[in-house]
């Protein structure tokens, strides 16, 4: 639809898809994991370090950026890419998810949502149109529509009325986007809601397709329903997802979630897990997650992954990382975040190669067999 953005489906393997997103700022091989750069920074990381892991696209949070330093300020400083020194594509969320998490600090109406800043208590408003504006001002390559992330659990009626509101907002967001986008450089994704109710999910997706977007996201999953339930929903919606557009599962997840979702046709992921857990001493390894604070690593001279091209993974011993975590050294967060992003990118590269070879299912099985061995 937009000349600067398109998606090529290169290969399928069952429901799994090997694709390529093209943007005016570069390509993204899918399935792809997007490290989260909440406040114009993938926490503790230099952009060059993030790029070196193989990450081709990062996520920015409209909610955080609109509050600090402010979208207009970022625009005056040349846009989000230039501001933070990330030259590749950036996807921005609409701010909806964070605002909904504010609980009593926010108020939803048909028009949109008003909320009080968690930073200084100042009042702000987001509407479908304003979320489009802010993301255009930030200069994001892929923007998300404002939606209401339906909480879990929700009754059918609650989930339905929430989904219908999100669909009305999606229609307004698309109209605003079409009217305002400059030179067709940007893309906009719709977000499917409907809780765990397949009927609602299907109606939501149909509504989004009727409106027409460059990509289709599933929101309101990984919010407490559990992996089995999430996979059941993905199984239910997978056949209806439009083959010609990318499929994005928002806020997911653990390696096992990602593998299962890729096998169910998802192309894009984001999650704070690799970055946040890195700041808390946790490292992802092929043998499962470990916490470096554990005394068992005090004299473990082996690196996290001697075969990795990532310096954080291969050049420092677990004993050293253990020491840094125990001593509260900032370098612990730097190295573990870097390693975890590299681990996730390596997982995605493995999945992409497996799909090309028609071995996605067995790759996933073998990965998880080793990943879960310790606790089996």
What is the contact surface with a copy of itself in residues (CB under 8 A)? 39-41, 43-46, 48, 68-69, 73, 76-78, 83-85, 279, 298-299, 301, 311, 315-317, 319-320, 322-324, 326-327, 329-331, 333-335
Of residues 109, 144, 107, the one with CA closest to residue 123: 107
Is 105 or 331 the residue whose CB approaches a copy of itself more closely?
A: 331
Contacts of 220 (CB under 8 A, 6+ apart): 149, 150, 152, 193, 194, 195
- Nearer to a copy of itself (CB atom), residue 196 or residue 312: 312
Nearest distance in Å: CB 328, a copy of itself: 9
Q: Are 92 and 217 in contact (CB under 8 A)?
A: no
Of these residues, 13, 147, 267, 270, which one is catalytic? 270
- Nearer Cβ to a copy of itself (205/292): 292
What minimum distance in Å lies between the beta carbon of 369 and a copy of itself? 32
Q: Identify the active-site residue in 13, 93, 141, 147.
A: 93
- For the record, the structure tokens of 131 come out as 């979320």
Closest CB 318 distance from a copy of itself, rounded Å: 10
Q: Cβ atoms within 10 A of the Cβ of 376, count? A: 6
Residues 6 or more apart whose Cβ sits within 8 Å of residue 286: 305, 367, 370, 371
Q: In what order do the strands lie in the sheet with 113-116?
A: 106-108, 113-116, 123-126
> What single-letter DSSP state applies at residue 69?
T
Instruction: Count helices and strands (H / E) in the chain.
Output: 15, 17
Q: Is 93 annotated in the active site?
A: yes
- The distance of closest approach from Cβ of residue 273 to a copy of itself in the complex, given in angstroms and rounded to an integer, is 17
| 182 catalytically annotated | no
Report CA-CA distances (Å) from 43 to 11, 50, 61, 250, 261: 34, 10, 13, 19, 26
> Tokens in use for 121?
């208590």
The answer to whether the CB of 304 falls within 8 A of the CB of 283 is yes
Q: How far is the CB of 316 from a copy of itself (least distance, A)?
A: 6
Which residues are designated catalytic? 93, 270
């Amino acid at each position: 639809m937009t000349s600067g953005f398109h998606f090529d489906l290169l290969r399928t393997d069952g429901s799994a898809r090997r694709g390529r997103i093209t943007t005016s700022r570069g390509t993204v091989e899918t399935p792809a994991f997007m490290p989260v750069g909440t406040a114009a920074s993938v926490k503790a990381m230099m952009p060059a370090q993030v790029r070196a892991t193989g990450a081709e696209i990062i996520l920015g949070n409209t909610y955080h950026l609109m509050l600090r330093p402010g979208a207009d300020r970022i625009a005056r400083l040349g846009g989000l890419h230039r501001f933070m020194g990330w030259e590749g594509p950036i996807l921005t969320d609409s701010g909806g998810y964070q605002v909904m998490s504010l609980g009593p600090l926010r108020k939803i109406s048909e028009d949109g949502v008003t909320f009080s800043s968690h930073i200084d208590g100042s009042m702000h408003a987001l509407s479908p149109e304003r979320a489009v504006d802010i993301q255009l001002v930030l200069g994001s390559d892929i923007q998300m529509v404002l939606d209401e992330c339906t909480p879990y659990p929700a009754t059918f009626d609650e989930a339905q009325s929430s989904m219908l509101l999100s669909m009305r907002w999606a229609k307004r967001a698309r109209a605003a986007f079409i009217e305002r986008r400059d030179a067709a450089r940007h893309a906009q994704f719709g977000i499917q809601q409907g809780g765990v109710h397949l009927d609602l999910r299907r109606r939501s997706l149909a509504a989004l397709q009727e409106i027409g977007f460059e990509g289709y996201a599933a929101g309101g999953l990984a919010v407490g329903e559990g992996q089995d339930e999430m996979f059941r929903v993905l199984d239910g919606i997978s056949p209806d997802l439009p083959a010609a557009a990318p499929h994005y599962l928002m806020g997911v997840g653990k390696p096992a979630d990602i593998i299962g979702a890729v096998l169910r046709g998802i192309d894009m992921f984001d999650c704070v897990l690799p970055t946040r857990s890195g700041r808390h001493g946790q490292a992802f390894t092929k043998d499962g997650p470990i916490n470096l604070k554990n005394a068992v690593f005090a004299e473990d001279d082996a690196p996290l992954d001697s075969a990795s091209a990532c310096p954080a993974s291969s050049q420092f011993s677990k004993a050293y990382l253990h020491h840094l975590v125990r001593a509260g050294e900032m370098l612990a967060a730097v190295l573990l975040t870097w390693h975890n992003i590299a681990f996730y990118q390596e997982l995605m590269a493995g999945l992409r190669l497996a799909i090309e070879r028609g071995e996605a299912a067995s790759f996933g099985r073998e990965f998880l067999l080793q990943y879960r061995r310790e606790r089996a």
